[in-house]
Amino acid sequence: MSDAAPQGFDTLQIHAGARPDPATGARQIPIYQTTAYVFRDADHAAALFNLSEVGYIYSRLTNPTVSALAERIAALEGGVGAVCCSSGHAAQLMALFPLMQPGCNVVASSRLYGGTIQQFTNTIRKFGWSAKFVDFDDLAAVEAAVDDNTRAIFCESIANPGGYITDIPAVAKVANKVGLPLIVDNTTGTPYLCQPLKLGATLVVHSTTKYLTGNGTVTGGCVVDGGTFDWSTSGKFPSLSEPEPAYHGIKFHEALGGMAFTFHSIAIGLRDLGMTMNPQAAHYTLMGIETLSLRMARHVENAQKVAEWLEKHPKVEKVTYAGLDSSPYKHRVATVCPKGAGGLFTVSLKAGYEGCVKLVSDLQLFSHVANLGDTRSLVIHPASTTHRQLSDEQQAAAGVSPNTVRLSIGIEDVADIIADLEQALAKG
Ligand code: PLP
């Protein structure tokens, strides 16, 4: 196929990053289960270490199966490069790592996955970094939170758990005005529903554990770079613009232009932090991504029907699905995620905390697990699990209350999903 031919999403999700194996002609991408790669000679080895030639050195840095996945996700997101890592949480650290120094902060949305709020509130402090949490519906507050030490702005496209949609173009405008990169966690949106780089984001992060793999088999993460941010002018990103002592003084931005972030992430991030994705995990995710568009369309269709049904149920107080007319975020679907509002939302029950705990245990088709984005329908009670370590204020800001359960609607027959909810609610 011609390199110049623009390819559609459904084609890219199968073909991007894939080419017949040069050694065997294998049509499917082999699982390159190897730690190291034989150098042709000493000059070849030196050129690879010098980054003057691209190739494989050691699987903590790169591996052909993992690289194929990175190329595929970059193609689907419209990025110039990507780096895969061992989990979504690893991807978040990898995204911040080239940007931050001790004393720097990230301005983050208060509506994030509970684990990310935890990671940003406490764990990153050990690196001397910090986070300021802001309601991203209040753009003036986002801008006001930025100070001289801010190095990034961070949000989720469709926020976990409530399915709230962030106004990415508006937040990108603020980021642009203050000269900072916008990082969007697109785990729940997926590039099928939402393409943050096209909406003005700088970097996209994923937990590939969720919809991209789609079947609950492996953990993984990915950082995608749009390749458009100029890291060199503000002096705020010395790891990318100045001689990098961790890599014999190379100036990544000068040497690699739009690929600076990706190469830094591999050559230093993966090399020194070691949060590498393994080739088996990449294989499962590559298999999953081949059907991403089909699954996401069905997740959206089912979530819409289930949300509409739940909203009318007498025991239900509120449903947060952004595809509902009652949602304050409905108007953002067309611009931010035009193919639908995702498969994730919360439902609040009039019966309160006890009613939620009972619903979770009375559901039969739904699996009670700490995961989302599986083909199967999943349920969890965030206040006692994923968001448990957060303060009451943080929980409320994230859209979590004691009478809220999170549903990740699967791709089963929707009548069966609704029947399961009906029987469980009848017992409450
Ligand atoms: N981002 C979002 C939106 C998530 O829901 C999760 C996990 O639930 C993560 C990131 C972290 O991903 P992982 O569990 O792969 O580390």
Tokens 């507050």 identify what position? 141
Q: Which residues are CB-contacts of 105 (< 8 A; sequence separation ≥ 6)?
A: 129, 130, 131, 132, 147, 149, 150, 151
Phi and psi at 277, nearest 5°, equal -80, 140
Residue 109 lies in a domain: no
pTM: 0.97
From the CB of 115, is ligand 1 less than 6 Å away?
yes
Same domain, 215 and 254: yes
In the chain, DSSP finds a helix count (H) and a strand count (E) of 17, 14
Alpha helices, H only, 78-186: 88-96, 114-121, 139-145, 168-178
Residues, the chain: 428
Residue 412 lies in a domain: yes
Q: Which atom of ligand 1 is nearest to the CA of 373?
A: 5
Report whether 260 contacts 239 (CB < 8 A). no
Residue that terminates a domain, selected from 288, 307, 323: 288
Whether the ω angle into residue 161 lies within 30 degrees of 0, i.e. cis, is yes
Residue 420 lies in a domain: yes
Residue 149 lies in a domain: no
From the CB of 209, is ligand 1 less than 6 Å away?
yes
Do the bridges between strand 221-225 and strand 203-207 make them parallel or antiparallel, or are there none, so unpaired?
A: antiparallel
Cα(331)–Cα(169) distance, integer angstroms: 13
Report whether 187 contacts 94 (CB < 8 A). no
Nearest Cα to 404, choosing from 352, 330, 369, 333?
Answer: 352
Same domain, 394 and 334: yes
Residue 91 lies in a domain: yes
Cα(349)–Cα(366) distance, integer angstroms: 17
Nearest Cα to 194, choosing from 371, 91, 398, 332?
Answer: 332
For residue 61, the domain's CATH number is 3.40.640.10
Cα(72)–Cα(12) distance, integer angstroms: 7
Cα(399)–Cα(406) distance, integer angstroms: 11
Same domain, 310 and 337: yes
| Ligand 1 centroid – CA 181 distance (Å) | 21
Strand residues in 10-73 grouped as ranges (E): none
Token representation of residue 100: 């931050």
pLDDT in tens, 289-323: 999 999 999 999 999 999 999 999 999 999 999 99
Token representation of residue 249: 């003084």
Same domain, 72 and 191: yes
pLDDT at 3: 59
The DSSP letter of residue 29 is P
Same domain, 278 and 312: no
Q: Which residue range is the domain that position 56 belongs to? A: 9-99+181-288
Alpha helices, H only, 328-374: 333-336, 352-362
What single-letter amino acid sits at 227? G
User: Please, which residues bridge with residue 164 across strands?
Assistant: 159
| Ligand 1 centroid – CA 428 distance (Å) | 30
Report whether 77 contacts 204 (CB < 8 A). yes
3-state secondary structure at position 225? strand
pLDDT, block means (10 residues), the chain with 428 residues: 76 97 95 98 94 93 98 98 98 98 98 95 97 98 98 97 96 98 98 98 98 97 97 95 93 95 97 98 98 98 98 98 97 98 97 94 97 97 85 85 95 98 95
pLDDT at 245: 92
Residue that terminates a domain, selected from 288, 319, 341: 288
Residue 190 lies in a domain: yes
The DSSP letter of residue 250 is B
Residue 275 lies in a domain: yes
Same domain, 237 and 343: no
Residue that terminates a domain, selected from 244, 265, 288: 288
Pocket test for ligand 1, best of 73, 116, 208, 408 (most atoms within 8 A of CB): 116
Same domain, 366 and 299: yes
The DSSP letter of residue 340 is -
From the CB of 387, is ligand 1 less than 6 Å away?
no
Same domain, 209 and 76: yes
Residue 124 lies in a domain: no
Same domain, 83 and 209: yes
pLDDT at 396: 87
Strand order in the sheet with 404-408: 316-319, 344-349, 404-408, 378-380, 367-368
Same domain, 264 and 332: no
Neighbours of 369 (CB within 10 A): 14
For residue 397, the domain's CATH number is 3.90.1150.10
From the CB of 285, is ligand 1 less than 6 Å away?
no
Same domain, 407 and 302: yes
Cα(344)–Cα(169) distance, integer angstroms: 22
Please report how the helices 88-96 and 114-121 are oriented relative to each other, as an axis angle in degrees rounded to 10.
40
Whole-number CA gyration radius for the chain: 22
From the CB of 188, is ligand 1 less than 6 Å away?
yes
Report whether 108 contacts 120 (CB < 8 A). yes
**Total domains, the chain:** 2
| Ligand 1 centroid – CA 91 distance (Å) | 9
Going by alpha carbons, the residue nearest to atom 14 of ligand 1 is 88
3-state secondary structure at position 254? helix
From the CB of 187, is ligand 1 less than 6 Å away?
yes
User: Please, which residues bridge with residue 225 across strands?
Assistant: 81, 203
Same domain, 279 and 367: no
Q: Which atom of ligand 1 is nearest to the CA of 89?
A: 16
